[in-house]
Amino acid sequence: MAGNSSGATRGIRWRRFLFWVLAVIITLALVVYQRVTGPTYPLKGEVNIAGETLRYKLPRSAVTTEDVRILISVPGTVSGKVIWKRYKTGDALTEMPMVREGDRLMAFLPAQPLAGKLQYHLALNDGQREVKLPEGGETVIRFRGPVPPWAMIPHILFMFIAMLVATRTGLEAIWPTGQLRCHAWWTLGFLLLGGFVFGPIVEWYAFGMPWSGIPLGWDLTDNKTLIALVAYVIAVIVLGVRRPIRARERWAVLIATIVMLGIFMIPHSMYGSELDYSKLESGASITEAIGQG
């Protein structure tokens, strides 16, 4: 009997360990997906010019306190320019020659107010033909206020941990090892810290307002965090504190996990804060002129 009990205990421990490994893999995959699909991460690509294949990375997020440096490594025979305008305005396009620095071309885009956006592209010329970057159209860059590390780092860390523990909680709901209730509460706690304590602080520094979701607005990042919170609050209410964990409780947690991970697969900053230049020029304040785009 003791041998069977010891073997069962080891089996549960191994299963818990494997669940954490699987949770880490799934969470890292979600983070990578966010980075390659989010509209504020640099746009990467390749282009053929002057007989060479060049890799480029165009910024799509910047701070309001400084101009944005655009850099691209090119052969010495290639010249270039940046062509830009304020996003969703009737402005004429501005062409800005790029300056050579060794094996790179460089130019600066002017800093914009909070949530301001510029659309831009690069035009490279090797003397034979001109190539547009990106080839599919324009790139849009959004400006935010600088966020202090003491706010940004905990926000990112707690949101990452919330996704990790939520994934582990979902696995626990499918294959129980006796830790469902504590994992569900830990998920809720980290979600509250990352999304509703440090999240509003980050948003205040970045865009001048602590919350842009329901009922104040339709910011997708805020609203999807709110949906995740509601789903997990319902789950822990169904779980209760001491009642036995049955199929109903496990299903509630599993559904909450699926909702949370599903909405966090939506690229970060989609339909986020966006400055309406026409409102700003009509005399509205920055906060009044910021909507969702």
pLDDT in tens, 46-78: 999 888 888 999 999 999 999 999 999 999 899
How is residue 248 written in tokens? 């109903």
**pLDDT value, residue 170:** 95
**pLDDT value, residue 237:** 94
Per-residue pLDDT of the chain (293 residues; tens, 9 = 90+): 444 566 667 878 899 999 999 999 999 998 888 877 878 889 999 999 888 888 999 999 999 999 999 999 999 899 999 999 999 999 999 999 999 998 999 999 999 999 999 999 999 999 888 999 998 789 999 999 999 999 999 999 999 999 999 999 999 999 988 899 999 999 999 999 999 999 999 999 999 889 888 888 788 888 999 999 999 999 999 998 777 888 999 999 999 999 999 888 887 666 678 999 999 999 998 888 887 66
pLDDT in tens, 138-169: 999 999 999 999 999 999 999 999 999 999 99
**pLDDT value, residue 32:** 87
The answer to whether 143 and 40 have CB atoms below 8 angstroms apart is no
Domains and CATH numbers, the chain: 2-37+147-292 (no CATH), 43-144 (2.60.40.10)
**pLDDT value, residue 7:** 60
Q: What is the pTM of this model?
A: 0.88
Cα torsion 184, 190, 191, 192: sign: positive
What is d(CA 72, CA 55) in angstroms, rounded to the nearest whole number?
8
Strands 117-125 and 139-144: antiparallel
Distances (CA, A) of 279 to 208, 213, 285, 290: 16, 20, 8, 9
